[in-house]
Amino acid sequence: MDNSLFALGLMSGTSLDGIDASIIKSDGENYLDIIDNKYLSYPVDLKKRLSYFINQINDKNDINENIGIYKSLEREITLYHAQISRNIIDKNKCKIQVVGFHGQTIIHKPKDGYSVQMGDANLLSQTLKQKVIHNFRANDIKNGGEGAPLTPIYHKLLTTKFPTNNPILILNIGGISNYSYCYKDKLIASDVGPGNVLIDEYLKKTKGLHYDKNGSIASSGNINQNIINHFYEHEFYNAKEKHSYDRKEFDFSFVRGLEFEDAIATLTYFTALIISKNIQKRIRDEVDIILCGGGRKNLTLVKHLKKLLNSKIKLIDEFNIDGDFVESQAFAYLSIRSYLKMPISYPSTTNVNAPVTGGEIKINY
Ligand SMILES: Nc1ncnc2c1ncn2[C@@H]1O[C@H](COP(=O)(O)OP(=O)(O)O)[C@@H](O)[C@H]1O
Ligand SMILES: [Mg+2]
């Protein structure tokens, strides 16, 4: 298609696992060609420093008071973004016209008017000699939105690739979970609770592990139903008006004292329960559920979701879309839409007052 652009999307999610990069070709509307995807894991040491830094930051002031560390981490992660970008661009030998650079979320407080993504777009633009779009969430928040989730408009485009006329719910399980409900012209979206964050944080704090590979630890433990019953009534998880989350809002301390495997089993079931109850509260009709994000590889979590949601659940990979890269593709798509001044968020996806575009362009070469 002649009016299509080649875009590179870069996403580093709340799990702090690393950077996903995708090149797509799109007109920002219905045409889509996914060219390539690539992943670069953050070095363990960087992961630790990022996680430690994020844990110290409780508001914008904390960032100002620690601006030296912020800037040095920012430079470091930006250079990793440059590295993976060069890699995927060189491999594909295509002429990128715009780069969508999400950056690493440090704090997300839309109710206080901000969401901070670490990442130096000027430096990335200079290093890559590319136009870089960043700060995707600010305009949405300025217009009364939650600044999240932003991927739904891309999810809607993806549904045209699925051979079904039923309502579709795309459920992304990253550090935090979010869904997009797509049916005809309707697009409804929200964060929906924890994803891998409770499980990963517990593993990190108790054993220095990053995640429960394939959900095998969870499958070897017993679920503590008393704890589940007690905590699932917690108002935080049931708050109706809750539309987006900061990863630090999730606290695993309610499983303290349990045997290690039982704690993981309980956190995994708890995560599935919150996701399914919140979906069921908001979406009443029968839907085909399609999973993406790293959490879809946690087989125990997926097993619980299948049972609790009582819907058809498939992995997005079954439709030839790599479920690890939906978000990086989405930020490539959003960068094209942003570049063309098209809306990227809607009242039904972020609670914004009206459909708005978003992202700021940096050209520094
Ligand atoms: N094989 C696996 N088994 C279980 N969980 C996994 C597996 N692979 C990845 N994950 C989980 O997915 C996370 C990464 O998912 P991702 O979609 O990148 O989340 P985010 O957008 O928050 O970065 C990892 O931190 C881990 O919790
Ligand atoms: Mg990730």
Portion of the chain with pLDDT greater than 90, in percent: 91
Q: Alpha helix locations (H) across the chain?
A: 44-56, 60-65, 67-92, 121-128, 138-142, 152-159, 197-207, 216-220, 225-231, 235-238, 260-282, 299-309, 326-339, 347-350
For residue 89, being part of any structural domain is answered with yes
The model's confidence at residue 231, banded by pLDDT at 50, 70 and 90, is confident
Does 205 lie in the same domain as 291? yes
At 234 the pLDDT is: 76
Q: Does residue 235 register a pLDDT over 70? A: no
- What proportion of the chain, given as a percentage, has pLDDT over 70? 99
For residue 188, give the CATH number of its domain: 3.30.420.40
Q: Whose CA is nearest to atom 7 of ligand 1?
A: 297
* Same structural domain, 189 and 281: yes
Same domain, yes or no, for 329 and 289? no
Q: Could you tell me if 166 and 286 are in contact, meaning their C-beta atoms sit under 8 angstroms apart? A: yes
> Going by CA atoms, what residue is nearest to atom 19 of ligand 1?
174
Q: How far apart are CA 9 and CA 62, in angstroms?
A: 29
Name the closest ligand to CA 175.
Answer: 1
Question: Are 203 and 243 in a shared domain?
Answer: yes
Q: Is the same domain home to 118 and 218?
A: no
Structural domain harbouring 201: 162-319
Inside any domain, residue 47: yes
| Centre of ligand 1 from the C-alpha of residue 299, in Å | 12
Q: Which pLDDT band, with edges at 50, 70 and 90, does 27 fall under?
A: very high
**Mean of the pLDDT values across residues 66-81?**
98
For ligand 1, residues with CB inside 6 Å are 13-15, 17, 174-175, 196, 200, 211-215, 293-295, 297-298, 327
Rounded CA separation 91/21 (Å)? 13
**17: CA distance to ligand 2 center in Å?**
5
Residues 180 and 329 in one domain: no
> Does residue 178 lie within any of the structural domains?
yes
pLDDT above 90 (res 312): no
Q: Residue 351 Cα, ligand 1 centroid: separation in angstroms?
A: 27
Phi and psi at residue 173, to the nearest 5°: -110, 95
C-alpha pair distances (Å), 187 with each of 30, 151, 159, 179, 258: 15, 11, 11, 10, 41
Q: What is the pLDDT of residues 237-293, one digit of tens each?
A: 777 778 999 998 999 999 999 999 999 999 999 999 999 999 999 998 899 999 999
Within a domain: 154: no
pLDDT tier, 139 (very low <50, low <70, confident <90, very high otherwise): very high
100/124 Cα distance (integer angstroms): 11
Q: Looking at the structure, do residues 19 and 108 belong to the same domain, yes or no?
A: yes
Q: Is residue 228 part of a domain?
A: yes
Taking the C-alpha atoms of residue 120 and residue 255, their distance in angstroms, rounded to an integer, is 38
pLDDT band at 1 (very low <50, low <70, confident <90, very high): low
In order of 5, 251, 260, 324, the CA distances from 28 in angstroms are: 8, 38, 47, 21
Q: Who wins on pLDDT, 229 or 53? A: 53
pLDDT of 211 above 60: yes
Domain count, the chain: 2
C-alpha of residue 157 to centroid of ligand 2, in Å? 21
Same domain, 118 and 171: no
Which residues touch 257 (CB under 8 Å, ≥6 apart)? Answer: none
For residue 128, being part of any structural domain is answered with yes
Q: State whether 99 and 173 are in the same domain.
A: no
Residues 314 and 356 in one domain: no
DSSP string, 329-359: HHHHHHHHHHHTT---B-HHHH--SS-B---
Half-sphere exposure of 32 (CA within 13 A, CB side): 23
203 alpha carbon, closest ligand: 1
Among residues 103, 191, 100, 192, the alpha carbon closest in space to that of 146 is found at: 191
For atom 25 of ligand 1, which residue has the closest CA? 15
Listed residue (206, 216, 222, 200) closest to 271, CA to CA: 200
Atom of ligand 1 nearest to the CA of 327: 21
- Pick left, alpha or beta for residue 89 (phi over 0 → left; psi -120 to 50 → alpha; otherwise beta): alpha
Q: Is residue 155 part of a domain?
A: no
Q: Which residue has the tokens 């250079």?
A: 79
**Is the same domain home to 187 and 290?**
yes
Q: What is the pLDDT of residue 23?
A: 98
Answer yes or no: is pLDDT of 194 > 90.
Answer: yes
> Ligand 1 atom closest to Cα of 298?
4
Residues 171-192: tens digit of each pLDDT: 999 999 999 999 999 999 999 9
Residue 152 belongs to some domain of the structure: no
pLDDT at residue 334 tops 70: yes
Nearest alpha carbon to residue 157 among 285, 42, 258, 24: 24
- What one-letter code names the amino acid at 265? A
Determine if the peptide bond prior to 167 is cis (ω within 30°).
no
**CB 267: neighbour CB atoms within 10 A?**
32
DSSP letters for 146-178:
-----THHHHHHHHTTSS--S-EEEEEESSEEE
Q: Are 8 and 88 in contact (CB under 8 A)?
A: yes
Question: Of 3-7, 56-60, 232-236, where does mean pLDDT reach its minimum?
Answer: 232-236
3-class secondary structure, 360: strand
Based on the fold, state whether residues 167 and 109 are members of the same structural domain.
no
Q: Which pLDDT belongs to residue 230?
A: 85
Distance separating alpha carbons of residues 67 and 36, to the nearest angstrom: 35
CA 293–ligand 1 middle distance (angstroms)? 7
SS3 state at 59: coil
